[in-house]
Amino acid sequence: MVATFTEVSAFAFVLELPWAVGVPDDYVLNRPVARERPASLGSTSSPLCRLRFRTVDVPTQLPLAASDLAFGGFDRDAEASEEEKIRREEVTEGIVAKPFLERRTVVVAYVSSDEDPPRLESEPLSKALTVALGGLNAWLISVGILYNDRLRPISLGDLPPAVPVMRARLVGTEFEHGPSELFELRKQHEPPRMYGEQELERAERILMIVASEEGLSTFYELVGRAGSARRAHRHREAVIDYATAGELFITAMLEALGKRCGVENTTLANLLTGSFKDRARHLCRLLGVPEDPGDSDSPLFYWWLHCYRQRNWIVHEGADSMAGLSEVARIGLVQMVVEIREAIRADAELADLASMILWGRRVDHTSSGGDSEPDPPPPVAAA
């Protein structure tokens, strides 16, 4: 049975996509998007979302504008003649003066409301915008899978700093709406986070690992990708990447520790290509920590329960995820990484291997000395 709008009132968001989707102007997705929700969440379905598309040519950032602002004062060719410098300036002015157009798709997303008229206030608007993005992303995934693999789900960060929103009413089969208001998603000139000297030094150290494309390089790449997926509210994707990153972490550390601890080459090769559970258990044996993932004292416990198993439910049973579940998956991975790093540091002969593990920190709020930072602890001063 196709879901239909039962409410006469709705929010209407105007969302500008980063690219052109390729659908005709005024194409309307006649099947409102609705996702069934578990009964435990208190509702059988979310609000409905209907999409209407148009494509326009829009001026974009002028070429050379940012680079000229950043480095325009550089004397890039001190030996150039005055005539040559004037010619270059005229060429640059011509490029900047010429309109630079890019084709983009703009969508009106109508989200049903149980209030008439809908309240244009922060809380109901935020909830409705989440529904609108969910419906739009489901459509982008559908088109992308079938016809255009450059399309991807978009996040709030892909949208302009503020989006127009209107109250709308369903009259017959069409929506009518009045004047728009701007709903601010973020500050237009929000200052970026600036990194300190110690943080930049750590980034340069991890760069050597990532650029090597060996050891933990793929682990770090997946951790970064999972974090981006979480911020874009693609929680199933995030959980899958966190779990896969954990598998790669365990495999890389087993290989490094196995070679250091004198594990026979044939045995180590069999472990690295055999059952993943055997790899995880053997790593714990080498470190002298509980190896059973069901043991709450094992470094594998939280990751295995909340991340690895959740990934298997998603991949093998088609389960869904959400913000809270992807967060516990991330925490599970952090906890495993930290526990293994601390176990390595506890052995003076292996402690240098911990220098590869530059992600994951633990803050012990009990003040009992259980903190764990990516950098090794400072040396203890001699008495």
Tell me the mean pLDDT in the region 9-14: 92
Which residue bears the tokens 């892909």?
158
Q: What is the pLDDT of residue 227?
A: 94
Q: Are residue 220 and residue 330 in the same domain, yes or no? A: yes
Q: What are phi and psi of 189, to 5 degrees?
A: -120, 45
Task: Give yes or no: residues 219 and 287 share one domain.
Answer: yes
Instruction: Tell me how far apart the alpha carbons of residues 98 and 96 are, in angstroms, rounded to a whole number.
Output: 6
Q: Does 145 lie in the same domain as 57?
A: yes
Q: Mean pLDDT across the stretch 210-217?
A: 89
* pLDDT value of residue 5: 56
Same domain for 236 and 275, yes or no, is yes
Q: Does 120 share its domain with 213?
A: no
* 365 pLDDT higher than 90: no
- Give yes or no: residues 262 and 288 share one domain: yes
The pLDDT value recorded for residue 31 is 66
pLDDT of residue 246: 97
Judged on CB neighbours under 10 Å (0-12, 13-18, 19+), 357 is buried
pLDDT at 379: 60
User: Per-residue pLDDT tens for 332-344?
Assistant: 999 999 999 999 9
Q: Is 379 exposed, middle or buried (0-12, 13-18, 19+ CB in 10 A)?
A: exposed
- pLDDT per position as a tens digit, 102-122: 899 999 999 988 888 888 999
pTM over 0.75? The answer is yes
1 found inside a domain: no
For residue 37, the model assigns a pLDDT of 42
CA separation (Å) from 201 to 179, 196, 225, 334?
51, 9, 22, 21
The pLDDT, as a whole number, for residue 136 is 93
Integer Cα distance of 51 and 31 in angstroms: 9
CB 310 within 8 A of CB 243: yes
Domain span including residue 329: 197-356
Return the pLDDT at 171: 84
* Band (285; pLDDT cuts 50, 70, 90): very high
Q: Is the pLDDT of residue 2 over 80?
A: no
Phi and psi at residue 167, to the nearest 5°: -80, 140
Does the pLDDT of residue 40 top 60, yes or no?
Answer: no
The answer on pLDDT for 247 being more than 70 is: yes
More confidently predicted of 63 and 308? 308
In the chain, the amino acid numbered 350 is: L
Question: Higher model confidence: residue 39 or residue 224?
Answer: 224
Confidence check: pLDDT of 24 > 50: yes
41-69: average pLDDT: 73
Which residues touch 235 (CB under 8 Å, ≥6 apart)? Answer: 229, 321, 322, 323, 325, 326
In terms of C-beta distances under 8 Å and separation of at least 24 residues, what long-range contacts does 295-300 make, across chains too?
Answer: 299/335, 299/336, 299/339, 299/340, 299/343, 300/336
Q: How far is CA 10 from CA 53, 58, 112, 139, in A?
A: 17, 28, 4, 20
Distance, CA of 181 to CA of 162 (rounded, Å): 10
Query: How many domains does the structure of the chain reveal?
Result: 2
In a domain, 381, yes or no: no
Give the list of residues 6+ apart from residue 35 with CB closer than 8 angstroms, or none: 45, 46, 134, 138
Is 238 in the same domain as 110?
no
Q: What are phi and psi of 163, to 5 degrees?
A: -120, 145
Same domain, 171 and 210: no
The arithmetic mean of pLDDT across residues 39-58, rounded, is 71
Most confident of 48-57, 145-154, 246-255: 246-255
| Residue 366 counted as domain residue | no
Q: Are residues 147 and 274 in the same domain?
A: no
Q: What whole-number distance in Å separates Cα of residue 107 and Cα of residue 327? A: 30
Selected residue with higher pLDDT from 84 and 228: 228
**pLDDT, tens digit, for every residue of 141-182?**
999 999 998 898 998 888 988 999 999 988 887 888 888 999
Residues 6+ apart with CB under 8 A from 243: 307, 308, 310, 311, 312, 329, 333
Q: Which residues of 55-68 are buried (b: 16+ CB within 10 A; e: fewer)?
A: beeeeeeeeeeeee
Angle at 17 between CA 16 and CA 18, to 5 degrees: 120
pLDDT band for 42, please (50, 70, 90 cuts): very low
- Dig out the tokens for 72 from the structure: 């325009």
Tell me which of 312 and 381 has the higher pLDDT: 312
Do residues 234 and 295 share a domain? Answer: yes
Same domain membership, residue 209 and residue 149? no
The residue type found at 290 is: P
- pLDDT > 90: percent of the chain: 55
Position 347 in a domain: yes
Does one domain contain both 131 and 214? no
- More confident position, 364 or 347: 347
